[in-house]
Amino acid sequence: MLVLARFTLFFIMLGSLLVYLFTNIKLIGEGSQALAVLALSAVIGVFLIVLELVLKQKVYIKKSFLLLILFFIYFIVNATLNRPDDLKSLLIATSGGIVLFYILGSLVSTNLLYIKEKVLNSKQFLNIFNFLYFVFSIIFMILLIDTFITLMANVREDLFLIADLDGMYQRAGAFLVISFFIYSFITVFFLFVNKYVKKKKASKLMTFVLFILYCFISITGMLLSQMIGSNNTLVNLGGLLFATTIFYIFINFTKPDRLLSYMKLNFRKIFLSKLTKKLFGSIFVSLFILLILLIGLINVLDIDLDKFRILGFGSGEVSSISARLELWNNFTTQFNYNPIFGNMAVDALTTGDGSYVHSFIASLLTHLGIVGFVLFFVYLFIAIKERFNHLNELYVNNLFSLYSLVVFCGIFAIASFGTFITWIPIWFLLGLIFPPIVFKNEKELNFEKSNINSIKQF
């Protein structure tokens, strides 16, 4: 009963977070809404972690998390000295609080570790998870369709765009990306554990149907991103759909079981082994399938692409890209202002308020300097190494780590050419992919130690 209650609370936590996100997307431009629902999600997440701490009694703080804390301290000092009035909005506000959204992502990932432990050791718990995932998918679809229909009522006749946006799309776009982070990671977890535990045809049919549902929900989300005028969101959702399709093809048609069940992954084995051929084959097949699907939908639904912002509303020029490229002219001036330590207000002090380069990496250098840049990437390097440090359940752990790495690289590449350092989806994703803490009891520790030699021998 305790396991059932914890599974249910986990999905209530996710559902509450999704309700908060979609409520604010639907009420675009009306400020932060449904804060009580967000608080409920956070309280449930913290409660489940405290419960796990009480039951297992051993908590391990990751080295990467300590490095991230050091980065946050540096960020806070810099912001306090240079933008003291904006400190709250930069750290904990729902519009751009990097610490708040890192915590929210961490609550999801840390509690998912418990779910993973249970479903991999009991088909009964897996059946419970599958049922709750199905309900979760339906709720996600209802929230998305409700938001789509509500906003559709205010779409212009000449363009596929909400009237009177006045540039208010960025927060709604960020929330839509975060909602699909949650949906995508829970979906691939569902696909991976069922492939690992269940081998029956009925299970394969179930995963196929729910994967197809995921695809059409993702395409609906991409349409919604254009309705609110966010090209960045469209590219991110398309990337998530592409990554998830790659791994569906990978696990079902390339037979990677033996490689992933006995091999501890690292960068060399990902890019220079038999795994590489299977992974890149899945990439090309997935790209072909998605292109055929998108072209087919455009033709069947008779979609006029000239009405979409991603194609410049028929002008032949994508204004969002040209504007971002123009801002790169400000990089040298802003970076030279204080190259070592940076300045969180450097754009206002040099080229004008808001004229910062729309690039995560470039804004790290201009606003936090070389010190902030080094602190962040040392954290990231250690976090990625820890992500592949598995000693048991290698098949699912390797798959989930590989998927996480592919998604992170794609999203980070997009952020490096289109967003500022306070873009909240990247901080939510860091918490989602790299949990700051893990819980282990004595039985798990002894089991891991017994597996070290066998993995090394392989």
Tens of pLDDT, residues 141-173: 999 999 999 999 999 888 888 987 776 788 999
| Length of the chain (residues) | 458
Helix (H, G, I), strand (E, B) or coil at 114: helix
pLDDT value for 221: 96
Are the C-beta atoms of 23 and 37 separated by less than 8 Å?
A: yes
pLDDT tens-digit readout, 14-27: 999 999 999 999 99
Give how many domains the chain has, as a whole number: 1
Q: Which domain holds residue 225?
A: 2-57+92-317+388-457
Whether residue 29 lies inside any domain: the answer is: yes
H/E stretch holding 150 reads: helix 123-152
Tell whether the model's pLDDT for residue 117 goes beyond 70: yes
Between these two residues, 276 and 313, which has the higher pLDDT value? 276
Between these two residues, 300 and 192, which has the higher pLDDT value? 192
Number of other residues whose CB lies within 10 A of the CB of residue 267: 11
> What values do phi and psi take at 265, rounded to 5?
-70, 150
Tell whether the model's pLDDT for residue 115 goes beyond 90: yes
Q: Give the pLDDT band of residue 455 (cuts 50, 70, 90).
A: very low
Q: What is the 3-state secondary structure (H, E, C) of 359-373?
A: CHHHHHHHHHHHHHH
Q: Give the pLDDT band of residue 449 (cuts 50, 70, 90).
A: very low
Tell whether the model's pLDDT for residue 316 goes beyond 60: no
d(CA 89, CA 86) in angstroms, rounded, equals: 5
Whether residue 329 lies inside any domain: the answer is: no
Q: Give the pLDDT band of residue 452 (cuts 50, 70, 90).
A: very low
Lowest mean pLDDT among 264-268, 286-290, 333-337: 264-268
Token readout for 245 is 């399709």
d(CA 348, CA 127) in angstroms, rounded, equals: 55
Tell whether the model's pLDDT for residue 412 goes beyond 90: yes
Q: What is the mean pLDDT of residues 95-118?
A: 94
> What values do phi and psi take at 124, rounded to 5?
-65, -45
Token readout for 3 is 């396991």
Whether residue 407 lies inside any domain: the answer is: yes
Between these two residues, 302 and 316, which has the higher pLDDT value? 302
DSSP state of 309: G
Q: What is the mean pLDDT of residues 414-434?
A: 94
Q: For the chain, give the percent of residues with pLDDT over 70.
A: 91
pLDDT value for 370: 97
pLDDT value for 390: 63
Mean pLDDT computed over every residue of the chain: 88
Between these two residues, 79 and 328, which has the higher pLDDT value? 79
Number of other residues whose CB lies within 10 A of the CB of residue 97: 19
- pTM of whole model > 0.95? no
H-assigned helices in 33-122: 35-56, 63-82, 87-91, 98-119
Tell whether the model's pLDDT for residue 314 goes beyond 60: no
pLDDT value for 137: 97
Tokens 């998108």, located at residue? 294
Highest mean pLDDT among 135-139, 350-354, 418-422, 448-452: 135-139
pLDDT value for 318: 53
Whether residue 365 lies inside any domain: the answer is: no
Tell whether the model's pLDDT for residue 456 goes beyond 50: no
